Amino acid sequence: MLKKILIANRGEIAVRIIRACAELNIRSVAIYTEPDRYGLHVKRADESYSVGDDPLTGYLDPLGIVNLALQTGCDAIHPGYGFLSENAEFARICEQKGITFIGPSADVIHRMGDKTQARNAMRAAGVPVTPGSEDNLKDLDEAVELANQIGYPVMVKATSGGGGRGIRRCDSEQELKQQFPRVISEATKAFGSAEVFLEKCIVNPRHIEVQILADGEGNVIHLFERDCSIQRRNQKLIEIAPSPQLTESLRNYMGSLAVKAAQAVAYKNAGTVEFLLSGDDVYFMEMNTRVQVEHTITEQITGVDIVKEQILIASDQTLSYRQQDISYRGYALQFRVNAEDPKNEFLPSFGRISHYYAPGGPGVRVDTAIYTGYEIPPYYDSMCLKLIVWALTWEDAVSRGQRALDDMRLHGIKTTAAYYKQILQHPDFQQGNFNTSFVPDNMQLLQYSDKRHPSELALAIAAAIAAYSAA
């Protein structure tokens, strides 16, 4: 069993991993850069170490992080999500230095991180993929020729892309000629690679992903699916488990495809297989070789602690469950409450949190690293908390989400919480009838009132008085 884990991350996911370590009696080590000196993950870990003054460099230094793990007596590193979590070189350095990387092997990360290699592996395994290029595109002429063969619209994607970056939809040859160099430029800047591929654009699909767990003995299971169709510009906003739009037969089919995908690449640890669903047609999109932001809702409906399973698998233990042990109960929703102003083009809203009151009650979970007085730094992702609700029925889950969003008080910054309440009130959402076009097709939901509840005004006045007194 692992004894001491360095967490190569920050914020709420670092806190989440620290909690799993505590339950397994494993010591946790946090790292931080200067803006995170007072971060909650720093306060909660058994040990914490600075990795420099620069906001980002320390979190993105594979060799420096591995050497720190060795110096502090750690036998493993958990990368969380983002930063170096899908960096094959980071995993390879861990392997070379004798540190357990809590995730798949470097070779698998590289193979599935290269979208072209991933698509070819899925084709070979019999997992359906969208029509498109089998290799990286050599030039624009090849892209135009292929697009004319498969038909517009098409998507130009960075081979090493992710997080909604390095991707453009093209509805015509003219757009393709305009967007092709832009994707190459963005891919080069964001991922250090100019390689791109092309695939058929599936118009207004549902975005469905399946959580899998795999151990070193070849055992692979799925934990059912999550519906991630509520998104803006390829960035997920609200996630749901299970999807209210799937039949049981389609659910089982997609679960079996995810297991087949993992087996095809000898996957080990937690991962997510993402699909596009158009009618009953299923297309493989990509595989995320890490824990997902939205793993929480799968935990809520299945009762499986995914982060603890990650650690146990990395400790060379076999899976705690077999497929027949896994069932789901009820519905869970996750709201990514971001420090953004939806009424102002979702402009980031970083700053000091003057007052924070977490929602609670039955079926409510909050994963966060913020607190009253915390200063949200402008260097990282804008997500400040994840609000998760669970209920036995879809209708009750939606109602509970509304109530929990109403319960929450977060002052000092703008957030997306009020916008999410508008989404929950939309008839199509309440009926479970939506796809990836829901957000752009319902821009009127951004016209909500900024009028505050009386209790919020009282808190704002109290916070202002307290700030004045302190000055």
In CATH, which superfamily holds the domain spanning 131-200? ATP-grasp fold, A domain (3.30.1490.20)
Asked whether the predicted pLDDT for residue 467 surpasses 60, the reply is: no
The domain limits of the chain are 4-102, 131-200, 206-454
Cα–Cα dist 309/321, whole Å: 10
Residues 50-70 have a mean pLDDT of: 98
Cα–Cα dist 447/423, whole Å: 12
Residue 388's H or E segment, with its range, is strand 383-391
Q: Looking at residue 458, what is its pLDDT?
A: 61
Q: Looking at residue 461, what is its pLDDT?
A: 64
Nearest Cα residue to 47 out of 27, 68, 26, 24:
27
Q: Looking at residue 25, what is its pLDDT?
A: 98
Residues 372-378 have a mean pLDDT of: 95
Cα–Cα dist 285/71, whole Å: 40
Kindly tell me the sign of the dihedral angle through the C-alpha atoms of 59, 314, 264, 279. negative
pLDDT in tens, 29-46: 999 999 999 999 999 999
Q: Please check whether the two domains, 131-200 and 206-454, share a CATH topology.
A: no
pLDDT in tens, 76-102: 999 999 999 999 999 999 999 999 999
Residues 357-366 have a mean pLDDT of: 97
The two beta strands, 76-78 and 100-101, are parallel
Structure tokens at 113: 């991180």
Q: Is-catalytic flag, 10? A: no
Q: Looking at residue 218, what is its pLDDT?
A: 95
SS3 state of residue 268: coil
Q: Looking at residue 450, what is its pLDDT?
A: 76
Q: Looking at residue 469, what is its pLDDT?
A: 60
Q: At residue 23, what is the residue type?
A: E
Taking residue 316's Cβ as centre, other Cβ atoms within 10 Å add up to 13
Could you tell me how many residues make up the chain? 471
pLDDT in tens, 424-465: 999 999 999 999 999 999 999 999 987 666 655 665 566 566
Kindly tell me the sign of the dihedral angle through the C-alpha atoms of 142, 151, 201, 280. negative
Residue bearing tokens 């004045």: 468
Cα–Cα dist 235/217, whole Å: 35
Structure tokens at 405: 């969003």
Contact 254, 275 (CB under 8 A): yes
Q: Looking at residue 468, what is its pLDDT?
A: 59
DSSP string, 321-365: --GGG----SEEEEEEEESEEGGGTTEE--EE-SEEE---STTEE
Asked whether the predicted pLDDT for residue 391 surpasses 90, the reply is: yes
pLDDT in tens, 234-265: 899 999 999 999 999 999 999 999 999 999 99
Nearest Cα residue to 32 out of 68, 4, 2:
68
Catalytic residue among 111, 251, 290, 365: 290
Q: Looking at residue 192, what is its pLDDT?
A: 85
Nearest Cα residue to 353 out of 214, 277, 201, 459:
459
Cα–Cα dist 390/329, whole Å: 9
Asked whether the predicted pLDDT for residue 470 surpasses 60, the reply is: no
Asked whether the predicted pLDDT for residue 118 surpasses 60, the reply is: yes
Mean pLDDT over all residues of the chain? 95
119-123, 148-152, 161-165, 367-371: which has the minimum mean pLDDT?
161-165
Fold of 206-454: D-amino Acid Aminotransferase; Chain A, domain 1 (3.30.470)
CATH code given to domain 4-102: 3.40.50.20
Does pTM top 0.85 for this prediction? yes
Residue environment code for 342-363, b if the CB has 16+ CB neighbours within 10 A, otherwise e: beeebebbbeebbbbebbeeeb
Cα–Cα dist 336/55, whole Å: 23
pLDDT in tens, 293-344: 999 999 999 999 999 999 999 999 999 999 999 999 999 999 999 999 999 9
Q: At residue 75, what is the residue type?
A: D
Residues 406-435 have a mean pLDDT of: 97
pLDDT in tens, 206-220: 999 999 999 999 999
Q: Looking at residue 457, what is its pLDDT?
A: 60
Cα–Cα dist 296/311, whole Å: 16
